[in-house]
Amino acid sequence: MTEQKKTSVEFVEIETGFEGQRIDNFLRNRLKGVPKSVVYRIIRKGEVRVNKKRIKPEYKLQVADIVRVPPVVVDDKQAPKVSKGLKIVAQLEDCILFEDKDIIVLNKPAGMAVHGGSGLNFGVIEALRTLRPDARQLELVHRLDRDTSGCLLIAKKRSMLRVLHEQLREKTMQKNYWALVDGQWDKKDRKVDEPLRKNTLQSGERVVKVDKNEGKPSLTLFRILDRFSSCTLVQASPVTGRTHQIRVHTACKGHPIAGDNKYGNNDFSAFMEQKGLKRMFLHAFSLKFSHPNSQETIYVEAPLDTQLTKALAMLKQPK
């Protein structure tokens, strides 16, 4: 039987750093375990008030605003389970590559979602908020697929988040991924610019396809790192940030990524599984950006996990 509990009414004063955030996003972060539909309903019905006035979901918070958060029913089954997340929390402490008072760069393990949702109640951002309780404004700067490992950037303050998002928009932040792809990558294919269109199925699953008519402009730069008899290790540098961009761009060239259960080649994935690879070989190897506070150039590399390094070692062994 699902346990439910009702929260009590709260009056929250908005502190510096939260200004500019939409009220709907503020509530969704605050009311963990409450369905998104409920959050929008309590706003629409006027149960959420800012400075005693009704507001719309797109209202942007200001410093010293007083937000009335009404009582809501929280489904304990849907709320983040800290007990289940303790293992994730302990694991993440060892995954931090760079940290100061403004940002964190993490080497995200494969198989870990960046945030709760889609049936997963505890992700990286929830774990980090548990790990760093004093950093109350922690937000993801960008995302990685659940099965992708490597460099993940998190801002500790919304002011830092805005600056880093600007770098993403201006394409001054450089992200390099390592991917093991099927077959022999043609060295002439230094860039893939096929437009991509995202479809969301009824199940909520996202599927991305090349669509020259309705797809959004997409660009990935490629460089060969190593060749093997049946596959190629490439560096993929996405210039745009479309969903599943590298996975679809490699697949559309006839060279899908090893272990990709959505766009991959089953025979190639099975071959690599015999080499000990039981995950997708896509890793965010490096991240280069301007520090949002000091303007210093930050360059961080995330080492490959044991499974990826062993798979490469197996490919290098003579038959």
- Indicate where the chain has its CATH 3.30.2350.10 domain(s): 82-164, 173-289+302-316
Distance in angstroms (rounded) separating the CA atoms of residues 178 and 187: 16
- Please give the CATH topology (third level) of the domain spanning 82-164: Pseudouridine synthase (3.30.2350)
- Please give the CATH topology (third level) of the domain spanning 4-75: 3.10.290
Catalytic residue at 145?
Answer: yes
From the candidates 24, 65, 102, 145, which is the catalytic residue? 145
- Indicate where the chain has its CATH 3.10.290.10 domain(s): 4-75
Q: Enter the pTM of the model.
A: 0.77
Identify the CATH number of the domain defined by range 173-289+302-316: 3.30.2350.10
Q: pLDDT tens, position by position, for the chain (319 residues)?
A: 445 566 678 898 887 777 888 999 888 878 877 888 889 999 999 999 999 999 999 999 998 899 999 988 765 554 444 444 556 677 788 899 999 999 999 999 999 888 765 444 568 888 888 888 887 788 999 999 999 999 999 999 888 999 999 999 999 999 999 999 999 999 999 999 999 999 888 777 889 999 999 999 999 999 999 999 999 999 999 999 999 999 999 999 999 999 999 999 999 999 999 999 999 999 999 999 999 999 999 999 999 999 999 999 999 887 6
* Among 262, 254, 220, CA closest to 237: 220
